[in-house]
Structure 1
Amino acid sequence: AAQEQANRLNLIAEERNESFLQTYGGKISSEWLFPKVMQIAEEAPDIYDAAAEIMEAADWIVYMLCGNRKRNNCTAGYKAIWNKKSGYPSDDFLTSLHPKLKHIVREKLTEDIYSVGEKAGGLTEEMAGKTGLLAGTAVAVANVDAHVSVPAVGITEPGKMLMIMGTSTCHMLLGEDVRMVPGMCGVVEDGILPGYVGYEAGQSCVGDHFQWLIQHFVPEAYMKEAEAEEISIFELLSRKADRLHIGESGLLALDWWNGNRSTLVDADLTGMMLGMTLATKPEDIYRALVEATAYGTRIIIETFRQSGVPIEELYAAGGIAEKNPFIMQIYADVTNMEIKISGSPQAPALGSAIFGALAAGSVNGGYDHIEEAVAHMGKIKDQTYKPIPENVALYDQLYAEYKELYTYFGKQNNVMKRLKKLKNIQSVSFDTGKAMA
């Protein structure tokens, strides 16, 4: 909803040659804090004025648990343009976004930021009663669900990318130094693990694609077939799609049903399906969407490598990685990388427990160093997904076609944005007409 504000922020930052922009891949996402704050200030100024603080939900939860307001460096760094060395953007820049934002840092945020892994406080008596835990139990500084999953799969060093795959996908990676990677969501010192810079990229629509297809385009006959076989409709579609040879559907999709987070950083882009005929079936579309999301991940991996950030191993966590071998094999084939799977079906919860143990320290039964905590608590499954050479060769051909469409519709032809603008105008006109009637 804040894409208009994000566009304006990015334009102003470019004109002013703001150095922070490159650490976010050249663009600040509409999903991040300042575009959203701009939108509030413009569309609901009374709410902005009344807000004592603007706080990430993760920090608010920690505040509720232990009574201490300790904002974490992960969300501050990735979502709020905060830097460990230079802090937030200048008051002058923030004023250029909107006059109300001139003093937002000291009025509604804070420059008092704490690192992930630190202790925020102890569990209050009230929350101990609600959770069944002991009062005083260590509460770690807040973290983001994707970032906190990295230690859960045993990653404590660079070169290993983790995909957290669900409705969307986040790609997490450790590095030794800051590199400028086009379209990344951000690079933050100590943002994932202490002692390393943490890179983030992502795809804003993955599992949501598949749910959309099932909700709107899967015929009743398929639903009955799944019911008769006592399997989920996802499993039925996966079985049918798995019987198709690579390229047999004749389809190629752009996975932008919810915009593009990386590497184009543009929420106004939309999805596309090329090659449909009267013979196209739901499983053809399903497979094409799965393949498109895998191509999108490959774009991200290649962009990091081309920017000097090595990716030598690939890991996956989340519902899709846990439940769908069909999808994971396609990802292995498209990326030509073996994929290791989280040993826990709830990687963010396990990662949170690891940071909780770190916050507690050895004196309270936890650990004093993240590597020690990960060695005892992180885990992956014995099963992996290995690329199949003949599949890799075929997907290389399709990926080349995907890249052409990616560049054309993502950078050269704005037809998607023109259509979206017309749609929005017509929607407003229709709603206004109904209100008048």
Structure 2
Amino acid sequence: MSSVDGGGDRYVVGVDYGTLSGRALVVRVRDGAEVGGAVHEYRHGVIESALPGGGPALPPDWALQDPEDYRDVLRHAVPAAVADAGVDPSLVIGIGTDFTACTVLPALADGTPLCEIPELRHRPHAWVKLWKHHAAQSHADRINALAHERGEPWLGRYGGKISAEWQFAKALQILEEDPEIYRRAERFIEAADWIVWQLTGEETRNVCTAGYKGIRQDGRYPSADYLGALNPGLADFVTKLDGPLLPLGDRAGSLSARAAAWTGLPAGIAVAVGNVDAHVTAAAARALEPGRLVAIMGTSTCHVLNGTHPADVPGMCGVVDGGISAGAWGYEAGQSGVGDIFGWFVRHAAPAGTDSHERLTELAAAQPVGAHGLVALDWWNGNRSLLVNHDLSGLIVGLTLATRPQDVYRALLESTAFGTRMIVEAFVSAGVPVTDLVAAGGLTSNRLLMQIYADVMNRPLSVIGSAQGPALGSAIHAAVAAGAYPTVREASAAMGRVDEGVYQPDPHNVRVYDALYAEYRALHDHFGRGADDVMLRLRAIRNAAVDAAVAQPDSVLEVVG
């Protein structure tokens, strides 16, 4: 497939909005060559302790962001990437974006975020709630309990549980903790769609976030009757989700004059429908065929694959018609903490001399599999799949006075591989084939980690051929939106890349990991399926102590469990 012009190269820009920064990538349309890129760090990063400008401390498990940081990516990263590429901006024919999800914000009908209204800026619920805002777990529990009680037909599509990370749990939290903010919010919109609104001046919604994060199945959202039974004030929530719903790869609109001034790109070029960072990566990894699972590994991991039919898979994030690409049922699962767990250990637990990923990886790689005598649960940021409970926490078993930092580090690496194996086995048990595995994301540069995954899974592991999978995937969708390719599948074949079978399982390591995995499963089920709720009780004690400290910071605290 050739590029749209007949006599010269044309380019597209993919913009990947991550947890801490946004990355812009300039990509050649005819072959997917990455010719320039730039990164812009968010000025406010993740807002976890207090709002910008001060104010009371935020409660536990909150994670907010400032939407102005997202606009700054367009102002800084996009022009810098085009300059880095050394191409004439007039040769750029489209722009596509992807976002973390569910990252969602309340806004007015014209798209103005409520946190940008001066009299609301001091109200925490007016701000963007980042994907890892986990303070709505109790609201998610109520959503799930009532859905089970009523036999809501959509619940099975989400593995039997709705996540605290998703739109409805976050909206219910806003309604019950700050009803004025809920009332003032004329729109409740994914950041993935909001940034497209900023680029085009037109409100649209994408089928991916609507299906996975917005509980939209078979052409409808949960009924007003069900929502009103949760809370009478929530009965109108679906009206806040209004906006044209478009398939992935479609043209959402044209780049507005305002956004052209921000980006330095030509006004009127195609803007692709919004998408999610994980789901858009499947196209970049040439992984749109059914059964080819992509694990997008960064601060967290998202597992996506296409299937030929819908199936109820316990503990999954969802199955959505066209959720990854048109003509297939897209499945999603995930782990709420992966790279974040490794980073926690390096920052807070590794002693001087070993406090770097490079050094710990070197030391961990030198030991035989199983020699550390440890097994860990990968729940430092809760569990997304299979248990869908963000009140769960981490665990390491087997520590002794002989345990060294590299032992713990390797056990943490292995725990995330065990979590992925649980997910893959759940897919297969439910009749959703997983034929091969592709790793993508920043963690693919750690060769020890990739070999561990191949050994734990006992499968060859392929690796995406790009260090910027989400941005490349967004660029692929931009090329389709601009008319350069008729379908995302054809654009993926021409512009995506993958290195096949880079890591092969070692038979000896496989046998040892099978034994360790059996111990992981036993701990997983004991602490995660109700046999021992100590993690939940400890979190409740912690939250009570923190709440008391916020209410009376100068008092002596007494916590009664």
Please tell me the TM-score bracket, short chain as reference.
over 0.9
Alpha carbons 2:549, 2:555 under 8 Å: kept? no
Alpha carbons 2:461, 2:504 under 8 Å: kept? yes
Please give the TM-score of this superposition, normalised by the length of structure 1: 0.94
Match for residue 494 of structure 2 among 376, 381, 392:
376
Deviation at 1:435, TM superposition (A): 4.9
Q: Name the CA distance, whole Å, in 1 between partners of 2:555 and 2:180.
A: 27
Query: 1 or 2, which has the higher strand percentage?
Result: 2
Q: Name the CA distance, whole Å, in 2 between partners of 1:178 and 1:369.
A: 22
Q: Could you say which residue in structure 2 is the equivalent of 1:242?
A: 365
- Could you report, residue by residue, the CA deviation over 1:2-31 in whole angstroms, capped at 9, with x for unpaired residues? 000000110010111001111000000000
Q: Name the CA distance, whole Å, in 1 between partners of 2:546 and 2:202.
A: 45
Query: 1 or 2, which has the higher helix percentage?
Result: 1
Once the two structures are overlaid, the 10-residue window that deviates more, 375-384 or 156-165, is: 375-384
Question: SS of the residue aligned with 1:248?
Answer: coil
The reply on whether 1:331 has 2:453 as its aligned counterpart is yes
Alpha carbons 2:354, 2:405 under 8 Å: kept? no
The reply on whether 1:396 has 2:529 as its aligned counterpart is no
Alpha carbons 2:461, 2:501 under 8 Å: kept? no
Query: Aligned in 2, Cα 1:399/1:382: closer, same or farther, shift over 3 Å?
Result: closer
Alpha carbons 2:383, 2:390 under 8 Å: kept? yes
Q: Name the CA distance, whole Å, in 2 between partners of 1:196 and 1:165.
A: 23
Deviation at 1:111, TM superposition (A): 6.3
Q: Name the CA distance, whole Å, in 2 between partners of 1:431 and 1:56.
A: 30
Deviation at 1:112, TM superposition (A): 3.5
Q: Could you say which residue in structure 1 is the equivalent of 2:228?
A: 95
Question: Gapped runs of 5+ residues in structure 1?
Answer: 224-232
Q: Name the CA distance, whole Å, in 2 between partners of 1:45 and 1:157.
A: 45
Aligned amino acid, residue 26 of structure 1: G
Question: Gapped runs of 5+ residues in structure 2?
Answer: 1-134, 557-561
The reply on whether 1:415 has 2:540 as its aligned counterpart is no
Q: Could you say which residue in structure 1 is the equivalent of 2:328?
A: 196
Q: Name the CA distance, whole Å, in 1 between partners of 2:152 and 2:434.
A: 29
Q: Could you say which residue in structure 2 is the equivalent of 1:20?
A: 154
Alpha carbons 1:153, 1:379 under 8 Å: kept? yes
Deviation at 1:132, TM superposition (A): 1.9
Q: Share of identical aligned residues, percent? A: 51
Q: Could you say which residue in structure 2 is the equivalent of 1:428?
A: 547
Aligned amino acid, residue 266 of structure 2: L
Alpha carbons 1:159, 1:310 under 8 Å: kept? yes
Deviation at 1:96, TM superposition (A): 1.4
Q: How does 1:87-166 map to 2 (within 5 A)?
A: 87-106=220-239, 108-110=240-242, 112-166=244-298
Q: Name the CA distance, whole Å, in 1 between partners of 2:545 and 2:487.
A: 57
Alpha carbons 2:228, 2:234 under 8 Å: kept? yes
The reply on whether 1:342 has 2:434 as its aligned counterpart is no
How many residues are paired up? 421
Deviation at 1:382, TM superposition (A): 5.8
When the two chains are superposed, the root-mean-square deviation of aligned CA atoms in Å is 1.2
Alpha carbons 1:160, 1:312 under 8 Å: kept? yes
Deviation at 1:247, TM superposition (A): 1.1
Query: Aligned in 2, Cα 1:111/1:86: closer, same or farther, shift over 3 Å?
Result: farther
Match for residue 287 of structure 1 among 406, 410, 415:
410
Deviation at 1:426, TM superposition (A): 2.3
The reply on whether 1:75 has 2:75 as its aligned counterpart is no
Q: Could you say which residue in structure 2 is the equivalent of 1:230?
A: none
Alpha carbons 1:87, 1:111 under 8 Å: kept? no
Q: Name the CA distance, whole Å, in 1 between partners of 2:363 and 2:550.
A: 41
Aligned amino acid, residue 143 of structure 1: N
Moved over 4 A (4+): none
Aligned amino acid, residue 259 of structure 1: G
Q: Could you say which residue in structure 1 is the equivalent of 2:396?
A: 273
Question: SS of the residue aligned with 2:449?
Answer: helix
The reply on whether 1:257 has 2:380 as its aligned counterpart is yes
Q: Name the CA distance, whole Å, in 2 between partners of 1:344 and 1:96.
A: 47
Aligned amino acid, residue 373 of structure 2: G
Alpha carbons 1:105, 1:111 under 8 Å: kept? no
Deviation at 1:383, TM superposition (A): 6.7
Query: Aligned in 2, Cα 1:367/1:264: closer, same or farther, shift over 3 Å?
Result: same
Query: Aligned in 2, Cα 1:327/1:251: closer, same or farther, shift over 3 Å?
Result: same
Q: Could you say which residue in structure 1 is the equivalent of 2:317?
A: 185
Q: Name the CA distance, whole Å, in 2 between partners of 1:77 and 1:435.
A: 47
Question: SS of the residue aligned with 2:319?
Answer: strand
- Could you report, residue by residue, the CA deviation over 1:368-411 in whole angstroms, capped at 9, with x for unpaired residues? 12222111101013671111111111101111111111111111
Q: Name the CA distance, whole Å, in 1 between partners of 2:443 and 2:419.
A: 16
